[in-house]
Amino acid sequence: MNLRLSSLLSRIENYPGVTVVAVSKEVGVAEIRLAYDLGFKHFGENRVQEALAKQAALALPLNWHFVGRLQANKVRLVAGRFALYHSLSSLRLAEEMSRIALRDDVCFPCLVQVNAAMEQSKQGFASGEVANLLTLVGNLPGVKVLGLMTMGPNTDDRVLIRRVFREVRVLFDELRRAPISTASMTHLSMGMSSDYELALDEGATMLRIGSAIFSNLLDNGGKQDGK
């Protein structure tokens, strides 16, 4: 492990209870094994077929997270295969999850995706829409909301990114104090390689970090990023 990765982990350790999801979507099974040996236990994938292939190739006690955009027609393929689905972004997706859950006797533990910045390029719900969504999802067997997920806006403006993270954390706290239906505010997933420090400052309990981990896995001069 090189100094940059050690420094990253040291910063995160200053925030007890934070779960790091190593986003492994662009690396192979060898890099995942190496990350596991270094202590990472949670791994995130965003493409269904690649994720299933990696799961089949790795006989390790890993916690797999689906962190990408999940299409309704792919729900049947991922049922029961992931510890957490980070991107519940529509009622239609929740309804399909419930249908498959009842058919296959599984549960879909999910995070509701909040698009606080209302960016057209991102899916998810406006902050003001989340409460109604939680009420509706509460009537869907097999779908369990365990928190919220958001992505920082696509900008270099750190003040704006922090503002978005803070808005979602405030919503998370409100829903934790006054729960709606069956939802449980256990996880607040926000912050990636470029903005995880801002997310930590604003109360994230879960980070999704890819390049900042895998580009620094090996000592300087070694093969990196599976390339």
**pLDDT given for residue 219 in this prediction:** 54
Tell me which residue range forms the domain holding 167.
Answer: 3-68+76-214
Percent of the chain with pLDDT over 90: 87
| Residue 11, domain CATH | 3.20.20.10
Give how many domains the chain has, as a whole number.
1
- Side chain identity at 124, as an amino acid letter? G
Question: Is 18 within a domain?
Answer: yes
Q: Judge whether 23 lies within some domain.
A: yes
How far apart, in Å, are the Cα atoms of 76 and each of 54, 61, 63, 66, 67?
Answer: 18, 23, 19, 14, 16
Q: Which residues of the chain have pLDDT under 70?
A: 1, 218-227
- Which tokens hold the place of 7? 């420094």
- Report yes or no on 227 lying in a domain: no
Which pLDDT value is given to residue 220?
Answer: 46
Contacts 24+ apart (CB under 8 A), 152-159: 152/190, 152/191, 152/192, 152/194, 152/195, 152/198, 152/199, 153/117, 153/119, 154/119, 154/121, 158/195, 158/198
Beta bridge partners of 43: 22, 64
The structure tokens listed for 38 are 């270094």
pLDDT at 224: 39
Decide if 33 is inside a domain. yes
Domain assignment present for residue 226? The answer is no
Tell me if 125 is assigned to some domain. yes
Whether 225 is covered by a domain: the verdict is no
Please report the pLDDT score of residue 181 as a whole number: 95
Neighbouring residues of 158: CB distance < 8 A, sequence distance ≥ 6:
195, 198
User: Do the Cβ atoms of 109 and 144 come closer than 8 Å?
Assistant: yes
The answer to whether position 221 is within a domain reads: no
**pLDDT score of 217:** 81
